[in-house]
Structure 1
Amino acid sequence: MKKIVFALLFISGFTFAQDMKVVNGNFDFLKDQKEINTEFDYSNFTMMKENKPETQYVEEHKADLDKKAKGNGNLWQKKWVAAREQIWTPKFLEIGNIVFSKAGKDVNFQEGLDTPYTLIVQTVWIYPGWDAGVMKQPAKVTTNLKFVETANKSNVLLEIASEEAPGDQWGNNFSNESRIGEGYAKTAKSLSKLLLKKAYK
């Protein structure tokens, strides 16, 4: 019985819908672009169902961890800050590029390129999810994806809203940061598939 319950919970986590909506612009400018400069903006996002500022979430989570074992709050905060560069950004770039490669397209996302256009991945909202072994809930990541002119970033050529991309893995995943990373991977996968349909037919 426990196995059946777990299977149902597991499947429900992976059927969580993600909404990717074109806010404005079109895909025409991308069709001849093989490399897309990519920047990540983690400067101003909210968290949890209450839409807490990230700073509030961090302070509260640190305090909770310190109640259980003093000093663990600071250790976690270092992992939280490092997750941007060590997990979230790499997951987005890696999975997005894999989708292009599997489709036989010579297109890729990279940081630090000098290209005509830049994709800005702006984090809007994060829900870290949880994993209690038998029961679990995926992370959710909401981002605003803006394709801009590199030389004039106020000129937005295409804007896509990615709502609540689910983040989870097969089996158990007890790391909030890792689950969130899977949300960025899902975002990249959905974006690359959309670009394949609209820009790289």
Structure 2
Amino acid sequence: MKQLTTSLLAAFCLLSTSILAQHIDIDKKALSFLASEETLNIQIDFNGVVIDNNVSESDFLVKMHKKIVNHRDQAEADQWAKDYVEFKNEIWPATFIEVLNNKLKDYKNAPQFIENNTDANYLLKVKIPWMYYGYDAGIVNEPAKVTMLLEFSKSDAPNEPLFTTEISRAMGKYNKTDGDGEGVGPSLNRMRKAITTAAYKLAKALKRVVD
């Protein structure tokens, strides 16, 4: 019984840590303007991102290129690098914005976030400082995670934040049958799912302001 109690306590602590790590601080007063806006501009920035244990993006890409060439060939390494650019510049940002807007539709006074919307009165800057790709090692696997720094400002004063907050280590849902398995390079789709989780959590947090 003592061993069972200890195991349950450990599981509860782990769950509590996970929940707290993904809590998003929201200031209803500072963000009250959201309820009166139809659209906001949104910019997503990967500059300066570090991977896993503080590996720079450039070092990470060099490492992946060498790994894929050694295990497969130059053509596959080049294809992974091409896919990475597409995910980073197109698929990941589009996923975040689409999931965020789709969830916000459930709320009464929620605005729509539109990338590079220069007509909007307000701006949300989303900076990604940290990414962890997870892994698939056969019978053992771990989902991807991502951290985002969020900065709301007026469009005409983008360097004067009205409110800042963080999404810390949002974790994707692992599904090997849905493109999450490990190839030679880490799964870019696995990271898309972490970004999906982050967007959903942000929309849920903003409910306190716009519903």
| TM-score between the two structures when normalised by the length of structure 2 | 0.80
Q: C-alpha offsets along residues 17-48 of structure 1, whole Å, 9 cap, x if unaligned?
A: 4232359x821222201211111111111011
Shift in Å, 1:124: 0.7
Shift in Å, 1:104: 4.9
Aligned position for 1:42: 46
Shift in Å, 1:103: 3.4
Q: Distance in 1 between matches of 2:154 and 2:108?
A: 26
Q: Distance in 2 between matches of 1:167 and 1:154?
A: 31
Determine what percentage of the aligned residue pairs are the same residue. 23
Stretch deviating more after TM superposition (168-177 or 92-101)? 168-177
Aligned position for 2:5: none
Q: Residue 160 of structure 2: SS of its match in structure 1?
A: strand
Aligned position for 2:190: 179
Structure with bigger gyration radius: 2
- What RMSD in Å do the two structures reach over aligned CA positions? 2.3
Q: Residue 39 of structure 1: SS of its match in structure 2?
A: strand
Q: Distance in 1 between matches of 2:81 and 2:24?
A: 31
Q: 2:163 aligns with which of 135, 158, 162?
A: 158
Q: 1:196 aligns with which of 192, 195, 207?
A: 207
Which blocks of at least 5 consecutive residues in structure 1 are unaligned? 1-11
Q: Residue 146 of structure 1: SS of its match in structure 2?
A: strand
Which blocks of at least 5 consecutive residues in structure 2 are unaligned? 1-13
Contact 1:16 1:166 in 2 (8 A): no
Aligned position for 1:168: 173
Residues 120/51 of structure 1: CA separation in 2 closer, same or farther (3 Å cut): same
Q: Distance in 2 between matches of 1:92 and 1:55?
A: 23
Alignment of 1:51-66 (within 5 A): 51-66=54-69
Aligned position for 1:119: 124
- After TM superposition, the runs of 4+ consecutive aligned structure 1 residues lying more than 6 A away are none
Aligned position for 1:67: 70
Q: How many residues align?
A: 186
Larger strand fraction of residues? 1
Q: Distance in 1 between matches of 2:65 and 2:176?
A: 27
| TM-score between the two structures when normalised by the length of structure 1 | 0.83
Q: Residue 153 of structure 2: SS of its match in structure 1?
A: strand
